[in-house]
Amino acid sequence: MMNETHLTHHDADICIIGAGVAGAALACSLANEKLKVIIVEKDWREQDRIVGELMQPDGVEQLKAMQLEHLLDGYDAQRITGYTIMKDDTPLHIAYPEGKFGLGLTNGKFVQKMRDELTKGNNIKKIEAEAQTFIHEKGNRIAGIYCRDKAGQSIAINAKLTIVMDGFFSTFRKQTTEVAATVTGYFLGIVLKDCPLPFAEHGHVFLTESSPFLCYPITKNEIRFLIDFPGHQPPRKSEELVQYLHQHVRSRIPESMHKAFDVCMLEGKFKVMPNHYLPGKPIMQDGVVVLGDALNMRHPLTGGGMTVTLRDVNSIQQLLKTLPIETTEERMELIRVFYASRTQNTAVNILADALYKVMSNHDLKEACFNYLAAGGKQAEEPIALLSGIEKSKITLAKHFFAVAAKGGMRKVNKNPGIASMVDAYYMVGDAYAIIYPLLNNEVQNNSTKMWLRLGNKIFRKKQIAL
């Protein structure tokens, strides 16, 4: 605890820790409400990041629901209407549900637009400081935070409810969640300038022998490339890395993109980010809520992170506007309702890590491509899941196992016999080994967990490590 005699004190109804996508969006949604809000951010300058640049359609819908869609204007965000999956030289186009669209954008511009917007709220106070520890009261209630500004001044912010939204490397995660984040690999980010995409208004996923890479527009003349590097060691800038990118990336993109790619390699402006797996398992405590990347992270292959975050922001801002937070009982009811509601909408979380594992498995990758290429509901419902519009975990599981089952049947039909039947069994087993831990970490329903355990007995394979 800091020395109380040298503290600057502030009081608020709500203290928000972090002014990234989650924190800034929540502050904007609460602007000019009756609640007094303090938002703490260690650096209010525009940031240069390679995460949070692809917003799926449901993220756009959440902003519309909060009447914040104007925050998507004014910095060249690019409309995205679907995905193209590139396998060898074969493109597979899958459109989002009719009338829905996502956006590719520059994260720093989007966040800064929200930060500018939240200052219009006469009930919002900005503080530039590093949040350090919680303020604890009797009964283990969190009553706010202690922080320190750049001048070394200590600050105490007393609040009825503290909302932790301090992102990837959260200071408060160990105190607010039951599990730690696991690094599952890395993405190398580069930007190609003045370069046309193979197919306009589409995100692109390029399938390779090992792991995928993807690209999408973030401005009218910039394309974000994310190249996957599995394992525990991040790629480091070197001549060997440039050679690897030439061999594994340049060789797979259209010739029209080669010039921009070569310029990018010469400039050498590479950024690396770790990919995390963190199932959302919050600790129920009076006075504190955690959400965004501080609570829940998934593989960025599907770009679902902002969608999940904005859905959570929409949920909690509605609760804050309708439920009181004066007493322990009132706060705990709000916290319980919020966490219960978010477990119903985690299909896009599960899909992100499941799809990445599928794309790294030769047989399942082939089966997935063939399944989606059949069109109809086999393409429409999976893309609705990826977009965040469809939220059912049952729908996700149905299509996931259908991919493996149909892929297995294709093996048997191509080469009838016991060997093919065994291959098909193991193929479904591989799929189960991928989906079981992901579903098991997200579902709450006991009957669903029972069926998952039964499947685990049928497919006695070592679960794929996340």
For residue 211, what is the domain's CATH number? 3.30.70
Q: Which amino acid is at 197?
A: L
Q: What is the pTM of this model?
A: 0.92
The answer on 352 and 411 residing in a single domain is: yes
| Phi, psi (deg, nearest 5) at residue 184 | -105, 0
Classify residue 43: in a domain, yes or no. Answer: yes
Classify residue 357: in a domain, yes or no. Answer: yes
The answer on 360 and 215 residing in a single domain is: no
Rounded Cα distance between 190 and 223, Å, is: 8
Classify residue 464: in a domain, yes or no. Answer: no
The answer on 440 and 383 residing in a single domain is: yes
Question: pLDDT tens string for the chain (466 positions)?
Answer: 555 557 899 999 999 999 999 999 999 999 999 999 999 999 999 998 888 999 999 999 999 999 999 999 999 999 999 999 999 889 999 999 999 999 999 999 999 999 999 999 999 999 999 999 999 998 789 999 999 999 999 999 999 999 999 998 999 999 999 988 999 999 999 999 999 898 999 999 999 887 789 999 999 999 999 999 988 899 999 999 999 999 989 999 999 999 999 999 999 999 999 999 998 899 999 999 999 999 999 888 888 889 999 999 999 999 999 999 999 999 999 999 999 988 777 788 889 889 999 988 889 999 999 999 999 999 999 999 999 999 988 899 899 989 999 999 998 998 888 888 888 888 888 888 888 888 877 766 666 666 666 666 666 554 444 4
Rounded Cα distance between 185 and 116, Å, is: 34
The confidence score (pLDDT) of residue 452 equals 67
The confidence score (pLDDT) of residue 171 equals 95
Rounded Cα distance between 79 and 82, Å, is: 10
R_g (Cα) of the chain, nearest Å? 23
The answer on 167 and 30 residing in a single domain is: yes
Classify residue 94: in a domain, yes or no. Answer: no
Rounded Cα distance between 435 and 401, Å, is: 9
Residue 103: alpha-carbon gap to chain centroid: 14
Rounded Cα distance between 172 and 130, Å, is: 12
The answer on 150 and 44 residing in a single domain is: yes
H helices of 34-154, in order, are: 57-65, 107-118
* Tally of domains in the chain: 3
The answer on 311 and 419 residing in a single domain is: no
| Cα dihedral 334/336/337/338 (nearest 10) | 80
The confidence score (pLDDT) of residue 411 equals 86
- Domain of residue 169: give its range: 4-78+105-180+279-344
Classify residue 100: in a domain, yes or no. Answer: no
Evaluate the CA torsion angle 320, 321, 327, 330 in order and state its sign.
negative
The answer on 216 and 163 residing in a single domain is: no
Q: Which amino acid is at 240?
A: E
- Of 416, 165, 129, 394, the C-alpha closest to 296 is 165
H helices of 388-465, in order, are: 393-414, 418-442, 446-458
Classify residue 365: in a domain, yes or no. Answer: yes
The answer on 143 and 283 residing in a single domain is: yes
The answer on 153 and 44 residing in a single domain is: yes
The answer on 116 and 12 residing in a single domain is: yes
The answer on 322 and 197 residing in a single domain is: no
Classify residue 212: in a domain, yes or no. Answer: yes
Rounded Cα distance between 436 and 414, Å, is: 29
Work out whether strand 82-87 and strand 202-207 pair parallel, antiparallel, or are unpaired.
parallel
